[in-house]
Structure 1
Amino acid sequence: MKIKATIILLLLTGLTFAQKAKKGKPVAIAPKEIFVAELIAKMTLEEKLGQLNLPTSGDIVTGQANSSNIAKKIEEGKVGGLFNIKSVQKIKEVQKVAVEKSRLKIPLLFGMDVIHGYETTFPIPLGLSCTWDMNLIKRSAQIAAQEASADGINWTFSPMVDISRDPRWGRVSEGSGEDPYLGSQIAKAMVTGYQGDDLNKSNTILSCVKHFALYGAPEGGRDYNTVDMSKIRMYNDYLPPYKAAVDAGTASVMASFNEIDGVPATGNKWLLTDLLRKQWGFKGFVVTDYTGINEMTDHGMGDLQTVSALALNAGVEMDMVGEGFLTTLKKSLEEGKVSISQIDNAVRLILNAKYDLGLFHDPYKYCDANRAKTEIFTSSNRSEARKIAAQSLVLLKNENQILPLKKTGTIAVIGPLAEAKENMAGTWSVATKQENSVSLLAGIKSEVGASAQILYAKGSNLDYDAAFEERATMFGKTLHRDNRTNEELFSEALKIANQSDVIIAALGESAEMSGESSSRSNLEIPQMQKDLLKELLKTGKPVVLVLFNGRPLVITDESQTVPAILNVWFAGSEAGYAIADVLFGNENPSGKLTATFPRSVGQIPIYYNQKNTGRPLANKEGKFEKFRSNYLDVANEPLFPFGFGLSYTSFDYSNLSISSSQIKANEKLTVSVDVTNTGNFDGKEVVQLYIRDLVGSVTRPVKELKGFQKINLKKGDKQTVIFEISIEDLKFYNADLKHVAEVGEFEVFVGTNSDTTNKIKFNLVD
């Protein structure tokens, strides 16, 4: 073959793709299959294993790429990629080592946890999901890819699509909530946002869906803990977002830490080969989580050689940090525990990804210093982040229409989260420059200007316990603990509170109270802040609670005593501006919860699409009934249900109708409802459609989200919202794990949240 001969000639004569690129001459290379096959044929076993090795950048800093400890491994072809290194200058230095000093000149992948933005940071993923706007979510991923790629990054460990129904688990902040349908739509939006329609473009990057699988359901809500569930629950409730990401073309998948059916995901062949590749048709590569292979030893699966072979045989292609592949697979190959074809296949998938990114054509394609100067943290990106953040905020209570606030009089801003710009970006914001984030106080001052007087007091520390605060403010996200006595802090706060017309209380979690390894057993606001809030309420002044959080909190007391509550999550680098936009009415809040807020930790796990028992609670008031499935001490109902969120205006639903009372498998139904803005503000509403399958071969949930539309209505306007229902919306996995729709009666609910009782019926017939 002429093309084949050309590639061999290039490699043998030393006129490599890397050397040509160095001279500024883009390289015409063979089609991927031929090119990769020829390259693998030239590789030694050690070089092959090197492509499967993903260490962290460690000690590499500018000017030290050639002398760092990892440089020697790169020269020897023992590294396939690096992560946790940023900036064009550093990355170009390291890439030069790979493509100019290693024998085969194979470029490296450069990965980073670009979770919810790069330097322009968007709300934490849980907050982002509360926009219910797939265009905005996709746009956030596009901007993140644009900025990361401009700074040398070509691979992100995102999106995290783990379904979670237990807010004790800290990483609920990093996902999209409790619902598989909504989670699937968001997974698709994020993957397509990162990867675009062509990975050869310089502003797109590889996505990595994680954590495969079931990571969001650990026992006790404790991170990395055991997960154990039935296959039918997996397929119906937890697997759909992963599959949606695969169907959207995600380039890579990250294995999770937890076990599945008694075998850790990192070594689970059923999961990584039978399900992911054979059933779903995944064509990309699988990477472990940080030291995921090594940690199987503590799971009780054997020594490093044993678990490394287990991972390769299961379907893992790249080993993050642990170097089990690099150091043990040669011996396992000699002992017949793994095969050379398995190793070659893993290498092929890694090289395919590099080819798809265009790195063989130009290994420095992501090292454009001009892009780094002009495309990161731009005013336009920040403007979009501000608008997106405003739509993520959820108004939980607004008694007597306290909000929006007027820009007059004296406004007291009190609380440990008021002047805390280091916390605004939230957890997993590794590329954010915290000094550029905007605090709530700064945002309010900017918005109000000279129109009102702003008074500020910290009021309290995060909590009485200094050691707890230290654990909860890691990674440079300090709250600058105040060493004054509690009495002095309270006294200062009450002094300015009494001088004010309205009090904004900035309370809740610090950024690192949620996130990885931040599980909590108590989900209430820390006690010192609760005590401060009680004192502020005693003043008799109107209080607006601006609640910072990375998870659903138990705010039962606050919901009863505080007249207005705005849940702001951690809204990103533009948080202060976005929150002020909502507080003062520039933006009407439109966020809707994607995770249920419990009344008590004892209710957990709590989620809207539960199943009935044989003895469901019959009354609708939450009253206790003996010999029914309920608690002695608290109502079954959540404090705030899935899909809940208020607006400064009001919406009326009427004229729910359906095109037919029955449907066949090859037909579709339309459901329509009139939505009228009956309040005094223009506003956005998320119209939600739920379906209930009344009789099934297996028990079915009381409701399942199957559609939603976010509409914008001017005050007084009405819109007819139309949904289409097909057989696909009625399918579920039965006891044989077949995806089926069964004939029978269904109910359709359309309303403002999952508690809606506005329903109509139809039948699926043969």
Structure 2
Amino acid sequence: MNRIYLIVIAAAIGLAGCQEKHTASASGSNSKIDHRVDSLLVLMTLEEKVGQLTLFTSDYDVTGPTIRENYKEDIKAGKVGAIFNAFGADYTRKLQEIAVKETRLHIPLLFGYDVIHGHRTIFPIPLGESASWDLAAMEQSARIAAEEASAEGLHWTFAPMCDIARDPRWGRMAEGAGEDTYLGSRIAEARVKGFQGKGIGELDAVLACVKHFAAYGAVQAGRDYHTTDMSDRVLREVYLPPYKAAVDAGAATVMTSFNELNGIPASGNKYLMTDILRKEWNFTGFVVTDYTSIMEMIPHGIAEDTASAAALALEAGVDMDMQAGFYNDALGKLVKEGKLKESLIDDAVRRILQKKFELGLFEDPYRFSNEEREKTTVMKKEFLDAARDGARKSIVLLKNDKNILPLSKSIKRLAVIGPMADARREMIGSWSAAGDWKKAVTILEGIKAAVSPGTQVLYAKGSNINDDSTKYLAQAIQTAKQADVVVLTVGEAALMTGEAASRASLNLPGIQQRLVEEIQKTGKPVVVVLSNGRPLTINWIDQHISSVVETWFLGTQAGHAIADVLFGDYNPAGKLTVTFPRSVGQIPLFYNMKNTGRPMDPNNKYTSKYLDESNEPLYPFGYGLSYTTFSYGDVVLDKNKISQQEEVKVTCKVTNSGKLAGEEVVQLYIRDLVGSVTRPVKELRNFQKILLQPGESKDVTFTLTQQDLSFYRKDMSFGVEPGKFEVYIGGNSRDVKKAAFVLQ
């Protein structure tokens, strides 16, 4: 190798003394990095370029992390640009050494992982966390996840999931922020900011990945990997805004979804990946597929073979192939045969190298693989404290009719019954990354740690989570009879939610419903504690049990957080971000549906309703109780008529009318009564979470802008239209106070 060639390589990969800090965002550019990327690109062979577009998985077995021998050989040959499911400072360093020391151009690997709701310290599942309506807490949980993940050698997380989901049969609802576009957008922004911190290249930051692009949450029948079909209006009004919010917040990467959209699978959908993402939204980061989704375009029926699938994906704007290996197998041959432009490969490689340079991997490929930092960062006390706080903020009090809650810590005999009480594995939920379920705090442990020394805590399993065995039932009934109060813990197993976990029934699985009914028959005061990753149909529980608490899957500190709420150390303030149906037959059911030409009238058969079920949900979007009560005054507007350039201020006095301090999520909704196209009956437009002492009042003021009143009009232009608007303020989407104004 001649001296000039060595100098060019050194200049390209940053070994010529260039140590500047890189914090360019996904929508920005760094001219020095651009120059270095271009300098490196000219040195690469076609095969090496294609290698940068390939992402393969590592594996874990009982002895620890492993990687397939053929993947090691691929890394050495420059055929792999990134690895996922590899973490740990020591292990990532060893893999990085293969790429840096044994490849021709020494290009470092990118390490990615599904850090969805915490890395080692596990926070509530995202659906549960969204119920806190606490954007700062959600940003903090993502920040902590990034600190832990980056300390274990990771550069990249496959989060946040920005899919709007309105069908709880879909198990992946657990990974998102629920049914509302506005709230989902705000949460997406917060999580991107948390993951990426002060900027890409900081040692405690990881690349965020917006997923699943697009409209994966609308899969037909709630069945995972199924098809999605919708108008462009619905796509743009409901489903796209959270992804765009994440991109606008600087998200470095985007992941394609498994579903097709209007006949075109996402990984081959140029309208999504190029026309919208790159041209409309000016996204400059790179796009990765979901697991083997290029391969799956063959059974979808849109690609005939490996070559056609690979070409379709690259031409659509997909930069990196996760696990299928189709790019490695086909792209080089397609270019050599004149069937594919090499410039498309160059563009994709350029976007990937850009992120590697921004991360500082060319200056120091091992900068994220520091064992000392790993030891001092993972599961720090302050991280565990934050997880506990985030968990209790996510709990939703659904019912407390007889004020059984909060419980006294001095109860003489407290029975803790049910399959979730001592179910340590279930506490951290699905997609729990590198979280060690053995370190999770169970509900039973949390309760035992909270009660007074004189309280006798009785325990009975009652049933398994999901089978028909009754062998634990009699003991549970006997235990309940001995107690003064029963905490009855029921729900789903962690892996009954998440990917490939769609359910046709949303009832309690197994014989848990029978368990609830038998315990209720004892006549003892009962508190039902739900652990689940989606809304369940719990009509009987709502009708017969006085106190019901929704706890989702709360993570490492679940048991302590639940005890904090049960015993009143924390006054619950969570609010649902997804509607709870009465029956599966109502699905899809969400608060911001549109009206019909024949709105429901119970006295008129020929209106929009069911013969055998109410139109109303069991619990509406935004709903959640407290141990105190809040009253809302009239909604007051600063003006009743505004021009299209003006804003309107909306104020409502909120009073803590109870005896305890508490937080309330004050929610603002609007309705555009007449438009060139029909509008939803309500749309969330803002919210504030406030803390009030007993008897304290606060004037909560919101400002509605032109953006808040805009929508996609008849001609698909985005903007406002003159007309009458109603504005609502309340503690949920159903129980609101109303005012009106005119936009001239």
- Interval of TM-score (by shorter of Structure 1 and Structure 2): over 0.9
Q: Which residue of 1 aligns with 2:537?
A: 554
Map 1:446-465; keep pairs closer than 5 Å: 446-465=449-468
Per the alignment, residue 479 of structure 2 pairs with 496
Query: 1:287-344 CA deviation, whole Å, 9 max, x = no partner?
Result: 0000010000000122111011000000000000001011101121123332111000
Could you tell me whether the CA contact under 8 Å between 1:53 and 1:321 is conserved in 2?
Answer: yes
Q: Name the residue aligned to 2:357.
A: 355
What's the CA shift string for 1:425-455, capped at 9, x where partnerless? 1010021011101100011111115141100
TM superposition shift of 1:66: 9.7
Q: How does 1:27-66 map to 2 (within 5 A)?
A: 31-58=32-59
CA contact (8 A) 1:554 1:600 kept: yes
Alpha-carbon distance between aligned partners in 1 of 2:383 and 2:575, rounded to the nearest angstrom: 24
Of 674, 694, 703, which residue of structure 2 is paired with 1:715?
A: 694
2:572 maps to 1:589: yes
2:131 alignment counterpart:
130
Give yes or no for the alignment of 1:10 onto 2:23.
Answer: no
Residues 720-735 of structure 1 aligned to structure 2 (within 5 Å): 720-735=699-714
Residue identity in the other structure for 1:512: L
Corresponding residue number in structure 2 for 1:525: 508
Contact 2:21/2:201 (<8 A) preserved: no
The CA deviation string for residues 123-163 of structure 1, in whole angstroms up to 9 with x for no partner, is 00000000001100100100000000011111000000100
**Structure 1 partner of 2:488:** 505
Amino acid at match of 1:110: F
> How far 1:89 sits from its partner (Å)?
0.4
Unaligned runs of 5+ in 2: 23-30
Deviation at 1:462, TM superposition (A): 1.2
What is the aligned partner in structure 2 of residue 638 from structure 1? 617
Q: Which deviates more from structure 2 when the two are superposed, residues 147-156 or residues 69-78?
A: 69-78
Show the counterpart of 1:749: 728
CA distance in 1: counterparts of 2:143 and 2:699, whole angstroms: 32
Aligned ranges 1:329-348 → 2 under 5 Å = 329-348=331-350
Whether the aligned pair in 2 keeps the contact of 1:62 and 1:89 (CA below 8 Å) is no
Mapped partners of 1:374, 1:717: distance in 2: 43
Runs of 4+ in 1 over 6 A off after TM superposition: 18-21, 27-30, 59-67
Decide which of 428, 439, 447 is 2:442's aligned counterpart.
439
Q: 1:421 to 1:383 in 2, by over 3 A?
A: same
- Over 3 Å counting, the alpha-carbon distance change for 1:212 and 1:624 in structure 2 is farther
Q: Give the TM-score normalised by the residue count of structure 2.
A: 0.96
Q: Which residue in 2 is equivalent to 1:319?
A: 321
Q: Secondary structure at the match of 1:286?
A: strand
Give the length in aligned residue pairs. Answer: 733
SS at match of 2:741: strand
Q: Return the alpha-carbon distance in structure 1 between the equivalents of residues 346 and 78 of structure 2.
A: 15
Q: How large is the RMSD of aligned CA atoms in angstroms?
A: 2.0
CA deviation after TM superposition for structure 1 residue 370, in Å: 1.1
User: Is the 8 Å Cα contact of residues 624 and 632 (structure 1) preserved in structure 2?
Assistant: no
Aligned-residue offset at 1:624: 5.9
1:184 aligns with 2:204: no
Distance apart, 1:16 and its partner CA: 8.3
In the other structure, the counterpart of 2:198 is: 197
- 2-side partners of 1:286 and 1:295: how far apart? 17
Q: Secondary structure at the match of 1:235?
A: helix
Q: Which amino acid aligns with 2:311?
A: A
Q: Distance in 2 between matches of 1:649 and 1:8?
A: 73
Distance 1:65 1:426 in 2: 25
Are the counterparts in 2 of residues 18 and 363 from structure 1 also a CA contact under 8 Å?
no
Pair 1:15–1:686, CA change in 2 (3 A)? closer
> 1: CA distance between counterparts of 2:242 and 2:60?
36
Which of 623-632 and 313-322 deviates more? 623-632
Corresponding residue for 1:421? Answer: 424
Q: Which residue of 2 aligns with 1:85?
A: 86
Paired residues of 1:235 and 1:737 also in contact (CA < 8 A): no
CA distance in 1, matches of 2:714, 2:457: 61
CA contact under 8 A between 2:123 and 2:554: conserved in structure 1? yes
Give the Cα separation in 2 of the matches to 1:382 and 1:608: 35
- Map 1:573-584 onto structure 2 (within 5 A): 573-584=556-567
**Structure 1 residue 141 corresponds to structure 2 residue 142:** yes
Amino acid aligned to 1:719 = K
SS at match of 1:758: strand
Correspondences of 1:231-242 after superposition (within 5 Å): 231-242=232-243
Amino acid at match of 2:33: K
Task: Kindly provide the amino acid, as one letter, of the partner of residue 506 in structure 1.
Answer: T
**Alignment partners' CA distance in 2, 1:760 and 1:597:** 27
Opposite residue 730 of structure 1, the aligned amino acid is L
Q: Distance in 1 between the 2:67 and 2:401 partners?
A: 63
Aligned residues of 1:649 and 1:678 also touching (Cα < 8 A): yes
Q: Normalising to structure 1: TM-score of the pair?
A: 0.93
Taking the aligned partners of 1:649 and 1:290, their CA distance within structure 2 comes to 47
CA distance in 2, matches of 1:276, 1:309: 19
What displacement does 1:18 show?
A: 8.1
**Deviation of residue 8 (structure 1)?**
6.2
Amino acid aligned to 1:314: A
Q: After superposition, what is the alpha-carbon deviation per residue over 1:571-609, rounded to whole angstroms, capped at 9, x for unaligned?
A: 011000000000000000000000000011000000000
Partner residue of 2:263? 262
Identity %: 51
- Give the Å deviation of 1:7: 10
Distance, in Å, in 1 between the alignment partners of 2:206 and 2:229 is 34
Relative distance call for 1:414 and 1:115 in structure 2 (3 A) is same
Instruction: Report the AA paired with residue 672 of structure 1.
Output: T
**Residues 467-503 of structure 1: CA distance to partner in whole angstroms, max 9, x if unpaired?**
xxxxxxxxxxxxxxxxxx61x4111111111110000
- Give me the whole-angstrom Cα distance separating, in 1, the residues matched to 2:563 and 2:359: 41
Match for 2:369 among 367, 370, 373?
A: 367
Is contact 2:65-2:86 (8 Å) kept? no
Is this contact kept in 1: 2:634–2:653, CA < 8 A? Answer: yes
Q: Is the 8 A contact 1:675 1:719 kept in 2?
A: yes
Tell me the equivalent position of 1:303: 305
**For structure 1, which runs of at least 5 residues remain unmatched after alignment?**
1-5, 466-484
Map 1:102-121; keep pairs closer than 5 Å. Answer: 102-121=103-122
Counterpart selection for 2:553 from 570, 587, 597: 570
What does residue 220 of structure 2 align with? 219
Amino acid at match of 2:690: I
Counterpart contact for 2:419–2:462, Cα < 8 Å:
yes
Question: Partner of 1:545 in structure 2?
Answer: 528
Q: Hey, what does 1:479 align to over in structure 2?
A: none
CA shift in 2, pair 1:680/1:608, >3 Å: same
* Amino acid in structure 2 at the alignment position of 1:552: P
